[in-house]
Amino acid sequence: MTLPFIEQFNVTGKRVLVRVDFNVPIHDGIISDDSRIAAHLPTIEWLTNNGAKVILMGHLGRPEGEKNPDYTLKPIANRLARLLGSPVEFCNDCIGTEAEKTVAALNDGDVLLLENLRFYKEEQANDKGFTKKLASLADIYVSDAFGTAHRNHASIVGVPEHINQVALGHLMYNELEVLKKVLEKPEKPLLFITGGAKISSKIDILHHLLPKVDMMMVGGAMANTFLAAQGHSMGKSLYESDYMQEAKRILTDSAAMGCRILLPNDVVVAPTLEPDCETKTVAVDAIPANMMALDIGSKTIEIWAKMIKQAGTILWNGPMGVTEVEPFDKGTQGITEAIALSNAYSVAGGGDTLAALAKANMLNKVSYISTGGGALMEFLEGKTLPGIAALQKRKAA
């Protein structure tokens, strides 16, 4: 089902309630990364340029249903105003008399940010009364928070039930279009690069993508489980013995589906996970009993870089090693550089992946950065996100 896009609506003079994802890192009132705020600028600017009364709602952290000043969105309103180059009003509540009066006083083109939705436990409980109070503030609902679309919360799935006009914002629309392009109409070959600590957290993704992708590169501790399943002695390496049979099944299925799975040829090993500890690079069949694999090795980087160069489309989710501890970030850095040098259309997502890209100062080397973490994971598993399902249900009504 094709969902309506906000540009299909006449928003002039309308109260437009936008679900945003402003869950940014803040310490002592200082925002250290405003990329999530900036990601919503296209939607906000289009609405203001077209005379809407823009009402933004979102959450920050986990205040557990209490009004905690440590989690106020006030600093975000100030940062957003600087990014927009125009004033952003702030309301100390998200429902009730104060919110209603503040919304009623808005002029066409004004922007208002409501206080943290999670100051009310009813938000995460998808409470109907809370939902109706939020919905009463608006004429149009806009879903623009892909990163929270996997949550069954009031502002995500409840509010659309009570507003006649619902639509996707620019960020949400672009996310879905990019993922559709990658998974349904990619430039071939399509390469999926994945890593991280546990195969168990990505089993459903691997199974769902096997018939869709041409190649998979598996790094991180995930690869350790595959290597153990192939009979390699992994020393002290982290791997999931309970998932070795599942790993074998994936390898068998991949062969039948024509998907080539690439595992490391060599790995960087160390006796402990500490900076500047003793390390060496060994073949995967020569891992010492007293050491653990913590990154892909130089030969693997070289081989994979050549494969990356051949890809038409790349989807990347998960680091190749323990990137937060040097020198076990070299594999991820090598893969990042290879992607940057490729001519492929590349998409990266997930907190650890984006942190690794930021650390290497290469966020701008990827064609598209997904704002979704858990939402991206569920999308790649083939699930319909609750936030999308709510819009589909409203459109069909």
- pLDDT 10s digits, 106-122: 999 999 999 999 999 99
Each residue of 295-333: pLDDT tens digit? 999 999 999 999 999 999 999 999 999 988 888 989 999
Q: How confident is the model at residue 276 (pLDDT cuts 50, 70, 90)?
A: confident
For the CA atoms of 158, 161, 164, 166, the dihedral, rounded to the nearest 10 degrees, stands at 50
Q: Would you say 329 and 323 are in contact if contact means Cβ atoms under 8 Å apart?
A: yes
User: What pLDDT score does 324 carry?
Assistant: 85
Tokens representing 342?
A: 């490729």
User: What pLDDT score does 55 carry?
Assistant: 98
Q: Mean pLDDT across the stretch 267-272?
A: 95
Distances in whole angstroms, Cα of residue 16 to Cα of each of 22, 93, 117, 164: 17, 17, 17, 12
Q: Mean pLDDT across the stretch 128-140?
A: 97
pLDDT of 361 strictly over 90 = no
CA–CA dist 395, 3 (Å, integer): 7
pLDDT of 53 strictly over 60 = yes
pLDDT of 275 strictly over 70 = yes
Domains of the chain, earliest start first: 6-171 (3.40.50.1260), 187-380 (3.40.50.1260)
**53-57 β-sheet, strand order:** 89-90, 111-113, 53-57, 15-19, 140-143, 165-168
Q: How confident is the model at residue 397 (pLDDT cuts 50, 70, 90)?
A: low
Pairwise pLDDT comparison (197 vs 96), residue with the higher score:
96
CA–CA dist 74, 152 (Å, integer): 25
Per-chain mean pLDDT for the chain:
94
Residues labelled catalytic: 36, 198, 351, 374
Pairwise pLDDT comparison (360 vs 110), residue with the higher score:
110
User: What pLDDT score does 396 carry?
Assistant: 66
Q: How confident is the model at residue 158 (pLDDT cuts 50, 70, 90)?
A: very high
Distance between terminal CA atoms of the chain?
13
User: What pLDDT score does 1 carry?
Assistant: 54
- Reference 305, options 348, 262, 350; nearest CA is 262
Q: Would you say 301 and 322 are in contact if contact means Cβ atoms under 8 Å apart?
A: no
User: What pLDDT score does 360 carry?
Assistant: 76
Q: Would you say 95 and 120 are in contact if contact means Cβ atoms under 8 Å apart?
A: yes
